[in-house]
Structure 1
């Protein structure tokens, strides 16, 4: 499997915009896009750091807004499709697993765990009932497979949503390896190609990074699992490892704003916006 099929590689960009976890907050994303639109320049690159789904009130609206802004971004002089990268977060990983839940040994238990971690917002957004899912799972594999088929059809009923989620990447980095963008974190003890699901589930090492990871100058993530990290102003606060690791999560989906940062080619932060 080539790097291009797993990672988004941002080539020859002047600046990179990174958007933190959205968590179904379509209104905040629309407001953020409005602020970004006035600041975009030719040569910019754009990375969404996962967790478009889950928690919030309007998951389909988020994906619609992502697709709309994609069209606007591609109107920039010289912009190409690979200049925008969407990353997999834990919410997208749960959705992927949910659509394969007929293979789980205890699908009801898996669903309960997912609901505790926010997938209820995605189900509600696509008008899928958790209770109906539980009933199907209790009936057996045939009924469970029928439910996952219906869930896929609910997603495909919204133009472009299935295609967007099928095109997400594990991580993204600039071609010069100055910056690496991930959803939830990295394990500094493992190289980039061996991170596995650490990209979307995170690790306890991120804020303790005291040296560059795998020769990347800076790692930027969009979600912090611990609640104390999801506070307004969090992206502005000095944290251990800040020279090498930056967290943009300010609690979108949990009552906080949606943050986006613009980084220069050398990794320095030029601007921080909120929606």
Structure 2
């Protein structure tokens, strides 16, 4: 029987309609290149032993807060040359891109963990918590010079959603009651409520990150894979097929 169950069983039954394909889905990384390397190695070991070559889907928030955002981007770019991957944009990637041209965004980004990313790229940080306009202008110029062209191109090319079978992958969630094709990008990147508490059938099972949880959160209408890697040291990878689900 083609069914996809949470393990251990709790009565939930999902129907992803993948047509025999397998997927590997990764939660928020936030600059933890060490955890990403370990998760990919676990996946490779399991997939190799089973003769699988899953489509890898990354749910966004590769940068900020953790120490190695540039290394994470390099690893994802390299992985895309070797495997079939889909890397989605998270709100932190959107902030980084916005900070390149908008000093108001840059100021906000500093308080959202962007300071760790700037430090990793070798940018000197302002000494004051409320940097002056001249300090922000100088920092913006440093960032523009420090961000490699291939990182900027990668970030600019990230999609905000991906659908396969009966599954919708986004970073944060969706606006309940709104058609998928009419969702606002800001919601896909930033939303929490009313999405998290919604009991609506969204038409597709939404797989997302963005809101940290202690363990993968399985609901009938959504699955949250953000296990707070930068704080907990746990980066979740979910191996999915039409018949099973497995947290690696």
TM-score bin (small chain): 0.7 to 0.9
Q: Provide the rounded CA distance (Å) in 1 between the counterparts of 2:130 and 2:112.
A: 20
Q: Provide the rounded CA distance (Å) in 2 between the counterparts of 1:152 and 1:13.
A: 44
Deviation for aligned residue 1:22: 0.1
Structure 1 partner of 2:213: 230
Structure 2 partner of 1:263: 240
Deviation for aligned residue 1:153: 2.5
**1:26–1:62 contact (8 Å) kept in structure 2:** yes
TM-score by length of 1: 0.73
Q: Give deviations 1:44-63, integer Å, cap 9, x for gaps.
A: 21111000000001111111
Q: Provide the rounded CA distance (Å) in 2 between the counterparts of 1:89 and 1:13.
A: 28
Q: Provide the rounded CA distance (Å) in 2 between the counterparts of 1:135 and 1:248.
A: 34
TM-score by length of 2: 0.81
Q: Provide the rounded CA distance (Å) in 2 between the counterparts of 1:223 and 1:22.
A: 10
Q: Give SS of 1:119's match.
A: helix
Deviation for aligned residue 1:15: 1.3
Q: Provide the rounded CA distance (Å) in 1 between the counterparts of 2:23 and 2:209.
A: 14
Instruction: Name which of 179, 199, 202 aligns with 2:188.
Output: 199
Q: Provide the rounded CA distance (Å) in 1 between the counterparts of 2:174 and 2:112.
A: 20
Superposed counterparts of 1:1-275, under 5 Å = 14-40=21-47, 41-42=51-52, 44-73=54-83, 83-102=84-103, 107=104, 110-131=105-126, 138-139=133-134, 144=137, 147-156=139-148, 160-174=150-164, 176=165, 178-192=166-180, 193-213=182-202, 215-216=203-204, 218-224=205-211, 229-231=212-214, 234-235=215-216, 242-265=219-242, 269-273=244-248
Q: Give deviations 1:198-225, integer Å, cap 9, x for gaps.
A: 1111221233232321x21x1100220x
Deviation for aligned residue 1:182: 0.9
5+ residue gaps, structure 1, are 1-10, 74-82
5+ residue gaps, structure 2, are 1-17
Structure 2 partner of 1:80: none
Q: Provide the rounded CA distance (Å) in 1 between the counterparts of 2:124 and 2:130.
A: 10
Pair 206,23 (structure 1): closer, same or farther in 2 beyond 3 Å: same
Deviation for aligned residue 1:252: 0.7
Q: Provide the rounded CA distance (Å) in 2 between the counterparts of 1:87 and 1:62.
A: 14
Structure 2 partner of 1:8: none
Deviation for aligned residue 1:42: 4.9
Runs of 4+ residues deviating >4 angstroms: 132-137
